[in-house]
Amino acid sequence: MSIRGLCSLLFSLLTLADSNLLFGQNQTPLSDPQAVSLVSQSLIALGGPSVSDVTMNGTAAWSVASLTETASATMTAKGTGASRFDMALSDGPRSEIRNDASDGARGELTTPDGSLIPWGLENCLVNAVWFFPHLSVLSATGDSSLIFSYIGQETRNGTTVQHIRSYRYIVGATVEATALTQQLSTMDMYLDAASLLPTAFVFKISSGDGEDPSLQVEVDFSAYQSVNGVQVPFRIQRYVGGNLGLDFSVASVQVNSGVSDSLFSIQ
């Protein structure tokens, strides 16, 4: 079965209301207590009050092939299921939106020429908030469908880190759908071994409609500063396929400002 066909099956499983219609039951895996403990400690290290939304303004270097443009940019998130990234490029505005609404996880890209490009489900099963650790998958340990595992202590880019992996598990799905869900939703998280602040998130996406999700995305966090008691990374770099595509420098941060849900509407 193609990746597109599998995603259609997976979407049905994710949105099916009657659990009696699901396929044969499998034993539900459990999260590793050590992984959950490290995630909890990381959230404590991130500090501050409960965060419901964040808006980060700054400048970003946007690179495509050999071309690089620096422009003003904004990253906005609400809860763990809605995010938006906007850039004011010379050719026009560019926006990426993720919204894990009740009717299913969705994403959309708006290009400078005004075109709307919907994201396939295969690119919408990792955590929607990829740029702000406080509202990332780290805050979702209470979600019983998310499984956390401890990979171990490693050295990464010269820094000792704790490596944790998460993926989503659908109760009652077929073996095929279970394996696909794990593949599409897996996220690797790296925590600084000393501070336990996140240094990187790594996951995979599909480079085209229906293609196998094998293109690696790496988001690196650095230059943490305290904003109202919340540790915020003031530099966020996103690599796609090993190439630096986005280098965002934060200039200002607003936490719990009451961001509207309408900001994350997808057409």
Encode pLDDT of 188-213 as tens digits.
Answer: 999 999 999 999 999 998 876 555 66
Q: Is 265 a domain residue?
A: no
φ, ψ (nearest 5 deg) of residue 40 = -60, -40
Provide the pLDDT for residue 23. Answer: 41
Per the domain annotation, does 23 fall within a domain? yes
C-alpha closest to that of 79 among 39, 135, 130, 40: 135
| CA count, 13 A, side-chain hemisphere, 217 | 21
> What mean pLDDT do residues 25-47 have?
90
pLDDT (0 to 100) of residue 69: 95
* Mean pLDDT for the chain overall: 88
Containing structural domain, residue 54: 3-258
Identify whether the C-beta of residue 203 lies closer than 8 Å to the C-beta of residue 187: yes
pLDDT band at 20 (very low <50, low <70, confident <90, very high): very low
Residue 19 has pLDDT above 90, yes or no: no
Share of the chain above pLDDT 70, in %: 88
Check pLDDT > 90 for residue 116. yes
The Cα 39–Cα 139 span in angstroms is 8
57: in domain? yes
pLDDT in tens, 86-96: 999 999 999 99
Does a structural domain hold residue 263? no
CATH number of the domain residue 138 falls in: 2.50.20.10
* Overall number of domains in the chain: 1
Provide the pLDDT for residue 59.
98
pLDDT surpassing 60 at residue 2:
no
With respect to residue 128, please indicate whether it lies within any of the assigned structural domains.
yes
Q: With 50 as the cut, is the pLDDT of residue 24 above it? A: no
| Residue of higher predicted confidence among 173 and 61 | 61
CB 162 within 8 A of CB 156: no
Q: What's the pLDDT at 212? A: 63
Does residue 164 fall inside a structural domain?
A: yes
Taking only the tens place, the pLDDT of each residue in 67-87 is 899 999 999 999 999 999 999
155, 192, 196, 236 from 160: Cα distances, Å: 4, 6, 10, 19
| Domain-embedded: residue 135 | yes
What per-residue confidence (pLDDT) applies to 16?
43
Query: What pLDDT does residue 9 have?
Result: 47
- More confident position, 124 or 74: 74
In this structure, is residue 266 part of a structural domain? Answer: no
